[in-house]
Chain A
Amino acid sequence: MSDFPAEPHTSSPYTGSPYSRRTAILDPAEFFGRRRELETIYGLICRKTSLYLLGERRTGKSSLLNALRFPRDPGEFPMPVNPCYIFWNSLYFSSSDESRLLRQLFSQISRELTAPIFDPVRESLPEAGEFARHARRQLIVLIDEFDVLVRNPAIPRDFFGVLRAWAEEFEIPFVIACREGSIEGLLDTNQVGSPFWNILQNVYVGPMSQEESMELISTPAANLDRPFSDEDLDQIQSWGGHHPFFLQMAADHTFRASGREEQKRNFLQEADVHYDYIFSVLPERELAYLRGNRNDSRAESELLRKGILIRDEKGERLFSSLFRDKIIVQPTSFLEQVKAFYIK
């Protein structure tokens, strides 16, 4: 196809792609970019301020949460002194009661601080806080997929208020991650308790910068002495925009397959359902903007914020040429494909 970059000059046998991960990053060597966010988060933690990482699905919130625990060079970021990170993956507690949640919390604290086992009851929270203070360790609680925890009916509403009191009394910063829009509604009904929510400062996790995107896609291949060509890099960016998830996927298929057509086919086989998902959750006015209603500056700014649109020196464009192709090649679009089912 004429708009495709040239075929790569060489095709290497399959040796394993360094871009195969689709889950959150756990290995420091696989983590790139997000320096601005890390600086902000560490800064807030140092000030004992709790915060809330919000962003769309698959933007790397969980990876960022994991990255807080990675070893860091001195002076790289403002760092808390003697940190003791406690990690709650809410997915494990979608129907657990408070006691199980606390048991998991205390078992981590006991392990990290070589502390005695605390009873899994609220009353032990001050005891654990006091122990950490006495041991001169800074407790930092990281909670991933927080919306799952909030939706758990077995956790009493006032529990979150107790957490706030604990966080404030013992100066324990909480870092919470959940998808944007997944929880705000629940807060209005006081299920979480605005008291808890009020102590959190928002940190938005959006698309990566151009430089970070390049770092993410070029470094792993270069580390294997199989650097991407400029055409490869152009292709990957043209398919993934500044979205770490799609960039990773585009880099993966560009790295594995030798022909452009095959790379594109393989990429689309995997990315298509995710593109569809993006379409399906886009608000109507943002969809309208993408379909040509350019007079809605609010929709435009939302799309830029989410990374669906990219604005740079070349102007404004959709984050992925293949996402654009979906609209152009199939003017029916996702929504209208669905409608086509009953308009007969």
Chain B
Amino acid sequence: MAATVQIFDRIPIVAAINNDCLSATGRGTLIFSPQKSGKSHLMRYIYSLRTANDAIFCWVNMDLMRAQAANPEKLTDRDFLRYMLMRLAEELEDKITELNPKEARWKADLMAARAQLNVPPPSGTPPDRYQQIVSQTVDALEAPLNMLNTLRLIADDVALSHEASDAYLLDLFHESLEQLQAVRKRVILFIDDFHYVLKQSDFSQNLKYTLRGANSEGRLVLLLSSAIRLMDPSIGRGGTQDIGTVFNDLKLQVLEPFDRELAEKFLDWLGSQDGQTLAADERAYLCELGGGSPQFIETARSLYVGRVPRPLTQEQRSAFEANVLYPALEAGFAQIWSRCTMEQRRACRDLIKSGSPSAPNIDLGAGNCFVACAAMNERVSRLASRFIREQKDEGLTGFAITPILNYESFPSALCLSMPGELEALVTFEMANQTSDPIGVQLTCQLQQFSLRAAEPVTVAPYESQTKEMQVTLISREAASLIKPDNTQVEVSYTISAPAAPGTLITKTFRARILPKDYFVFARRHKGKQNIVSTAWLIAAWVDREDKSVIELRAEAARLNNWSMPGYQTPDSPAAHQVLRSQVKALYDALYARKLTYGNRVLPQYQDTNNFGQTVRLPGKTIGDAQMNCLDGAVLFASLLASCDLDPGILFIPEHAMVGWKQSHSPGADWEFLEITDVTASDFDAALKNGRELFAKYETSVVDVGSLEPLEMKDVEKAAVRVDIRRVWAAGVTPIPA
């Protein structure tokens, strides 16, 4: 067992962790502290105590795990499971070694107890009662032996698992925990800086779910530390891979920096350990230097008492700070600085300049470490101030970068069908007011649904630049979406300027991704505040390769003497007759399916910038045996296209019709039919009704055959005819079914 680590105070939090986490009914706990308040030390202290007898303590050291991994840059589930199982086996071996000497006595006691089963009861004791007492004794004596055997079995299994498959390792992990639980043993898993594990490793959701599951069933007790909350959006929340909420059931224990009183007592405590006592003014001086951070205080004290003689005059102390202490603390300051966002850094700078942050109520995050100094001394520690002043201003005043999210609701259909035409997901506005060129590495991603887009840009001195970034959807994820899902847009950028290290800033925006059958008829442009038609998008619903469409086409061919030749040349009345008979056959085949009229247009989510509705894809219309005007128009257009005819869809106020060109010729006339009639009326009636309605709008209709932005003055009065084949030619592809 490792030597016990010493710790000062922390009595309340240690007591709370003992009760909430390490007790027999304890559950997972997160020690949260954004500053250098000693959470790692606290973890090590608790680990060294090993207060719970029924627990197996396992410390997961990520650095060691990396050292043993096949690829240290990319830790996998296998690395984790192998490392974890090896640690478990080591702990079990220790336990077995500890228990081995007792085994012989346990066995002897058990044999003696079993022998009592065959002995007549003492006089006055009823035989049943006697048997019951002896049996209970036997059970009680069997328990430690069973436990010891279980520990050996698990240790042996793990020892043989070096070359095991990933699936076997996972099974072994589960079974080991299950077997340990059966003999009333829990595994307490210590992982320091768990937020890094979540952010940087390549562990699967499966592994994270496994940890959550074992934690919730009490087989495994997670004792984690983190500098950020695990539900923080920056860790990744939303979509199907909802990392942030996987660990939402941990008890939070907040570790605060020391206040002035505790800091002084801490110095006294350190003195009691090594006999190096401090005068009152020396304690005050060191508190001023170290602030509320145990680590900084300890470093400052250690270096201070190590000087012979101790620096007592102003001059000596200035030299001590400049030459000894500052170089020693600088790395720690830098670590805190790296955990601060741009806004937090700005607030820290304001704190130094004016004594208070410019934005009230700002959460300084890790920067609180500097504020802790301020709270104690009414100003930031000299050394922290010096550090902050020495940091190159990454552009907080000289360079500004603003990411603008263009879609709060992202229509997946738009991207699936026409990725190249999609408006940028994020627009970065950058302004460089410095005399240096600034390099920026931009990335953005719609979490879980898109690939990460990345682009380096350089902004010349005293210039501004705008960069728009699109993303490529992961077709499989987007195509499986049939209802809105919450996700996040993650935007990050690293700014590199001469003499300034690159700093990665990551921001997340909440966003919704809309399902693939959400049709956006028009969008309000956020910048211009006008309404732009995206009616061309309906062409993405028209799919001549859909299985149901192909089947219907075959049925239509049967009704039309097995002939669907498409357009005939030359264009003539006879050719029109051939065309009409094909369209009628398609209509009749659909009519025979006995579809009913039914609306399913209201989306589950509607935002104020999209004019849209849910439209069934052709296969779903057939599958549901139900349609409205637009569902029917899409389906019939697919049927027309499957016969090499040129379909069109006409949008008129609150209604849609389907039509076809009389020939392939660009200037050919259009014919429309009222497709909702297919639920009740014959082809002639549908054609008559379609012609009459089309005639009302024929002179005012706007043709859409490309993807050019079409501004709409009044979205509710527009008549728009979409030439499906021309829109396809412009690059729109059908949405995957």
A-side interface residues toward B, CB under 8 Å? 14, 16-17, 20-24, 26-27, 57-58, 62, 89, 91-92, 94-96, 100, 145, 148, 151, 184-185, 188-189, 256, 266, 269-270, 273-274, 276-277, 280-281, 283-284, 335, 338, 341-342, 344
Contact = CB atoms under 8 A, between A and B. Distances in A.
Interface in B687-728: none
B318 interface: no
Contacts of A270: 252, 254
Contacts of A188: 482-483
Nearest to B173: A92
B482 A189 contact: yes
A342 B510 contact: no
A23 B211 CA distance: 13
B20 interface: yes
Given A14-B16, A92-B210, A274-B231, 5 more contacts: A23-B218, A24-B216, A26-B218, A100-B171, A277-B231
A14 B481 contact: no
A293 to B, nearest CB: 13
A95 B213 CA distance: 14
Interface in B1-43: 12, 15-16, 19-20, 23, 25-28, 32
Interface in B486-522: 486, 507, 509-510, 515
Nearest to A87: B217
B330 interface: no
B20 A280 contact: no
Given A277-B245, A338-B509, A256 B480 contact: no
A96 B174 CA distance: 12
A256 to B, nearest CB: 7
Contacts of A17: 16, 19-20
B206 A95 contact: yes
Interface in B396-411: 402-405
5 contacts: A20-B20, A23-B28, A95-B204, A148-B209, A188-B482
A297 B176 CA distance: 52
Nearest to A330: B361
A-B interface, 10 closest residue pairs, ranked by CB to CB distance from nearest: A91-B213, A16-B19, A20-B20, A185-B483, A91-B209, A273-B231, A95-B206, A270-B252, A23-B216, A94-B206
A342 B20 contact: no
B604 to A, nearest CB: 8
A91 B231 contact: no
A145 B209 CA distance: 10
A300 B51 CA distance: 50
A315 to B, nearest CB: 30
Contacts of A335: 510
Contacts of B611: none
Contacts of B480: 189
Contacts of B209: 91-92, 94, 145, 148
Of A89, A256, A335, A338, chain B has the most CB atoms within 10 Å of the CB of A338
B396 to A, nearest CB: 13
A94 B251 CA distance: 24
A92 B213 contact: yes
B669 interface: no
Of B12, B20, B26, B204, chain A has the most CB atoms within 10 Å of the CB of B20
A112 B215 CA distance: 23
A92 B175 CA distance: 11
A67 to B, nearest CB: 14
B250 A22 contact: yes
Question: B-side binding surface: helix, strand, loop or mixed?
Answer: mixed
Contact of B213 (A89, A273, A277): A89
A106 to B, nearest CB: 14
Contacts of B250: 22
Nearest to A266: B254
B486 A280 contact: yes
Interface in B365-402: 402
B464 interface: no
Contacts of B249: 22-24, 58
B248 A57 contact: yes
Nearest to A15: B19
Contact of A269 (B252, B483, B485): B252
B254 A14 contact: no
B248 A20 contact: no
Interface in B597-656: 605-607
A335 B405 CA distance: 13
B605 A342 contact: no
Interface string B319-337: 0000000000000000000
A266 B405 CA distance: 34
Contact of B404 (A24, A57, A342): A342
A335 B217 CA distance: 35
Contact of A22 (B16, B170, B237, B251): B251
Interface string B544-561: 000000000000000000
B727 to A, nearest CB: 27
B607 A284 contact: yes
Contacts of B251: 20-22
Contacts of A283: 605
A91 B482 contact: no
B205 interface: yes
Contact of A342 (B210, B215, B402): B402
Contacts of A24: 216, 249
Contact of B217 (A89, A269, A280): A89
B146 interface: no
B421 to A, nearest CB: 23
Contacts of A338: 509-510
B195 interface: no
B139 interface: no
A274 to B, nearest CB: 7
Given A22-B251, A185-B482, A269-B252, A341 B509 contact: yes
A338 B510 CA distance: 7
B661 interface: no
Contacts of B217: 26, 89
Nearest to B182: A111
Interface in B165-190: 167, 170-171, 174
Contacts of B237: 277, 280
B188 to A, nearest CB: 15
Nearest to A341: B507
B240 interface: yes
Contacts of B515: 185
B129 to A, nearest CB: 24
A284 B484 CA distance: 12
